[in-house]
Amino acid sequence: MEINIISNEENKLLGRKEIRFSAAHEKETESKENVKTELCKKLNLKPDSTIIIRINQHFGEKRISGLAHSYEKKDDMLKYEQQHLFKRAEKKSATVQDAAKQ
């Protein structure tokens, strides 16, 4: 998967970077966790203070676009982001870990 950065804007008021990106994938749609890992590698971001807000799959194409926020402090991320995003990520990681054990 190759990630292209569309915009990388600094939001000084909230202490975060707002990153719009697109990516091409070869097989199935990439998971948010994989996209976050690749994005953090490319931009040298901290994975524990970065969150994927949305990923859009383009119909009929092997291409996605999305939005991510990367905070300077993890406390700010927990303060400003919607709580359901964290719960959703926890459920996914627990499901993946359960499947790996079997």
Cβ atoms 45, 39 nearer than 8 A: yes
- Looking from the CA of 25 toward its CB, the CA atoms found within 13 Å total 19
Give yes or no for residue 97 having a pLDDT over 80.
Answer: no
**If one looks up domain 2-101 in CATH, what number appears?**
3.30.70.330
What does the pLDDT look like over 46-68, one tens digit per residue? 999 999 999 998 888 889 999 99
The dihedral built from the CA positions of residue 24, 4, 92 and 59, taken in this order, carries a sign that is: negative
What does the pLDDT look like over 11-36, one tens digit per residue? 999 999 999 999 998 887 778 888 99
Q: How many CB atoms lie within 10 A of CB 3?
A: 20
Both structure tokens of 27 = 């097989």
- Would you kindly state where each structural domain of the chain is located, as residue ranges? 2-101
Both structure tokens of 22 = 């697109």
